[in-house]
Structure 1
């Protein structure tokens, strides 16, 4: 069973559908895009594998899930430098090129699932660090991401408990009725 994601009017927020249930989700600040580029703030359209669950062990125990799971550490990062050989790959910090920190002060990456976007093969400049992670609230609901799909913690735990390694996240331009 796959996860389906589509944008709501306004583009920054969407609906995530899984097994006849719907959940509000945050999308990239530029909405869903068909031609993803590094730094554009878009959530790429497509069908993506859920690679594994990364979790922050000082904040939560490994949640129930059939995905492979591993704890992150304070020196874990993700390379977002398009010209670097480790582009769109995990790295150890400090790293010689630009890299996103996975061990964050906010709670966005307490649970994070790297999506199988631009990783086999990697196309330099086509976008990196596209994750399924926890959402942040803002005054109008869920705050936009930099291109990821994000859920509230209870919804994320519910989904993680029911996905399998075969589950794919399908990001669509139009809302499915």
Structure 2
């Protein structure tokens, strides 16, 4: 009998530890959104983007850092512009939604302008730099350079990055649909400058000053994550 009780207690303890657990965090940490997220992995920097509902084209963006076991606020909230058709957990190429979920930040940042002081590696965009959105191309959802002025080996509905000098003054690539890349699931999901102050085609955008603040703050050693969702669903990610 004692063995049975001891074994049951051990199972319960292991189950609680394995859940890792936003519940435990929520009971000991400040009552904020970041401490209620289901799983932030090894990240010690976090961006949250919360929209009011699925069809909303804006969201509240905040920055967080890990302090011990707890998340504490760093900056924000700022208004981020999202896809023209809102956010979606089942994004498809061309549907004009911003993908919902938890994602990393790719290790190379880009921009038409000079590096504003990022800690990430930086590629300055030039003529011939594309982000491929042709679902039939082997380069789908990847950066690809062709000689300036030559026809690329994919549909030119892809992003000619040098032709967006305002939006792509600076950008971070959200690590969506990359491991593995699934044709048709969506491509070129960036955190970039808001050119018009309106909805995007699927990215998230901020004012230039806000974006520069974010990109300078992000540290690849902190394994940052960006979590995007509605007020009703974001805690599930």
Report the TM-score when normalising by structure 1.
0.89
Deviation at 1:106, TM superposition (A): 4.4
Gaps of 5+ in 1: none
> What CA distance in whole angstroms lies between the structure 1 residues aligned with 2:126 and 2:60?
31
| 2:47–2:225 CA contact under 8 A, matched in 1 | yes
Q: In the alignment, which residue of structure 1 is the partner of 2:46?
A: 2
Correspondence 1:1-177 to 2 at 5 A: 1-8=45-52, 11-19=56-64, 20=73, 21-51=76-106, 52-56=108-112, 60-93=113-146, 94-98=151-155, 99-137=158-196, 142-165=197-220, 166-174=223-231
Deviation at 1:92, TM superposition (A): 2.2
Instruction: Point out which structure has higher relative CO (alpha carbons under 8 A, 6+ apart).
Output: 1
Report the TM-score when normalising by structure 2.
0.67
**Which structure's residues are more often strand, by fraction?**
1
> What CA distance in whole angstroms lies between the structure 2 residues aligned with 1:14 and 1:173?
8
> What CA distance in whole angstroms lies between the structure 1 residues aligned with 2:133 and 2:141?
6
**Which structure's residues are more often helix, by fraction?**
2
- After the TM superposition, list the runs of 4 or more consecutive aligned residues in structure 1 that deviate by more than 4 angstroms: none
Deviation at 1:48, TM superposition (A): 1.5
> What CA distance in whole angstroms lies between the structure 1 residues aligned with 2:164 and 2:129?
13
After superposition, the CA RMSD in angstroms is: 1.8
> What CA distance in whole angstroms lies between the structure 1 residues aligned with 2:51 and 2:101?
13
> What CA distance in whole angstroms lies between the structure 1 residues aligned with 2:86 and 2:136?
25
Deviation at 1:83, TM superposition (A): 1.5
Deviation at 1:63, TM superposition (A): 1.1
> What CA distance in whole angstroms lies between the structure 2 residues aligned with 1:49 and 1:70?
19
Residue by residue over 1:13-69, the C-alpha shift from the partner in whole angstroms, topping out at 9 and shown as x without a partner, is 11111133211111000111010000000000111221121011xxx3211222221
User: If you compute each CA radius of gyration, which structure gives the higher value, 1 or 2?
Assistant: 2
Q: How many residues align?
A: 170
